[in-house]
Amino acid sequence: MVQEVSHRSLDTTNPEHIHYRQGAIEITILGGIRLEGLDRMRVTLKIQVEHLSLRHSLDLYNDNQVEKLVRKVADKLEIGTSVITAALNELTDLLEQYRLSEIERTASNQNERKILTEAEIKSAQSYLSAPNLMERTKEDIGKAGVIGEENNRLLMYLIFTSRKREAPLHIVSLGSSGIGKTHLQEKVGALIPEEDRIEITTLSENAFYYFGKRQLQNKLILIEDLDGAEDVLYPLRELQSKRRISKTVVHKNSKGETRTVHLTVEGPVSVAGCTTKESLYEDNANRSFLIYIDESREQDEKVMHYQRKLS
């Protein structure tokens, strides 16, 4: 994809290697740009004028950093400061347009739903209407590779299916390090359609605020390690209880003008996480079902028996 505005062009064919050209100046954005964090635009640039080039990392919304780069380019690449300033301003404008279009495209893709065939619908209806639904579901979860943990795996799956309800349920898995908490969550989570689950390993403090407005709606959020997610526990609690979060941030454009942007993310969501800490923050624990992973010898034997069958 190439975006063009009069004499300037932005080639985003490779999102990790974006090219911009204005006259003799060629700029490559190495590693692309982050879609979240609209109040900043941190990039690594390779700026080339004929046979001369340099690389520099900066926030294009930081005037001091931009001015420093302009002086550096003018000195090392032998080009006027007004020329490189104009190019950087135009590049920032184009990157803003590109980022907003990518956010909209991502949100649109998130909203695409798989359409079931008539055969799939009939198969699902037949499964759901047959006797002993809970027992059969528990057995089928085991057939999918979840060994033991019969009651925990069924409870977890039922909680995951509640994501479609107006008031979804939440669950936290407790247990010693390396006992299989994350494995259980991953295996049961894999039974939920991919478009309905979001798997998270690390989170920054404001990460949840930069999802699209309805990007999290009726989604299952799987957090691998709650122990390392303390900074996001507050917005997570708000999503669980109030089913929406909001935040106002200051946004600076390429001309140095500031304006406030109100960010709102809608729920509801179903949240699952793993932790080694039995004494969770009370405000988080009382919003979730708490399950303890089976650390018995019998559970170990079930796992080893399953592994021997596979070998």
Could you read off the pLDDT of 51-105 as tens digits, one per residue?
899 999 999 999 999 999 999 999 999 899 999 999 999 999 999 889 888 877 7
> For every residue of the chain, which 3-state class applies, written as one string?
CEEEECCEEEECCCCCEEEEEECCEEEEEECCCCCCCCCCCEEEEEEEECCEEEEEEEECCCHHHHHHHHHHHHHHHCCCHHHHHHHHHHHHHHHHHHHHHHHHHHHHHHCCCCCCCHHHHHHHHHHHHCCCHHHHHHHHHHHCCCCCCHHHHHHHHHHHHHHHCCCCCCEEEECCCCCCHHHHHHHHHCCCCHHHEEEECCCCCCHHHHCCCCCCCCEEEEECCHHHCHHHHHHHHHHHHCCEEEEEEEEECCCCCEEEEEEEEECCEEEEEEECCCCCCHHHHCCCEEEECCCCHHHHHHHHHHHHHHC
Tell me the average pLDDT across 150-165: 93
**Domain boundary, last residue among 84, 110, 136:** 110
pLDDT at 6: 40
Report if residue 125 sits inside a domain. no
Asked which of 110-119, 160-169, 286-295 is least confident by mean pLDDT, the reply is 110-119
- Work out the pLDDT band at 208, boundaries 50, 70, 90: confident
pLDDT tens-digit readout, 219-229: 999 988 887 77
Regarding whether 295 and 196 lie in a shared domain, the answer is yes
Predicted confidence at residue 161, as pLDDT, reads 94
User: What percentage of the chain reaches a pLDDT higher than 70?
Assistant: 87
Q: What is the CATH number of the domain that holds 284?
A: 3.40.50.300
Query: The whole model's pTM is what?
Result: 0.63
- How far is the C-alpha of 269 from the C-alpha of 288, rounded, in Å? 12
pLDDT(279) > 70: no
* 306 and 166 within one domain: yes
Range of the structural domain that residue 45 is part of:
2-110
Q: What is the structure's pLDDT at 67?
A: 94
8 and 105, same structural domain?
Answer: yes
190 & 84 share domain: no
Please tell me the predicted confidence (pLDDT) of residue 111: 56
**Domain contains 117:** no
Measured torsion, CA atoms of residues 35, 36, 42, 47, in degrees rounded to the nearest 10:
0
Last residue of a domain, one of 58, 88, 110: 110
Q: Are residues 87 and 167 in the same domain?
A: no
**Residues 32-36, mean pLDDT to the nearest whole number:** 83
- Confidence grade of residue 176 (pLDDT, cut at 50, 70, 90): confident
Domain assignment of residue 134, yes or no: no
Residue 293 in contact with residue 150, Cβ under 8 Å?
A: no
pLDDT(5) > 50: no
Average pLDDT of the chain, as a whole number: 84
* 174 shares a domain with 227: yes
Residue 23 lies in a domain: yes
pLDDT at 254 over 60: no
Are 297 and 174 in a shared domain? yes
Query: How many separate domains does the chain show?
Result: 2
Q: Tell me which of 51 and 250 has the higher pLDDT.
A: 51
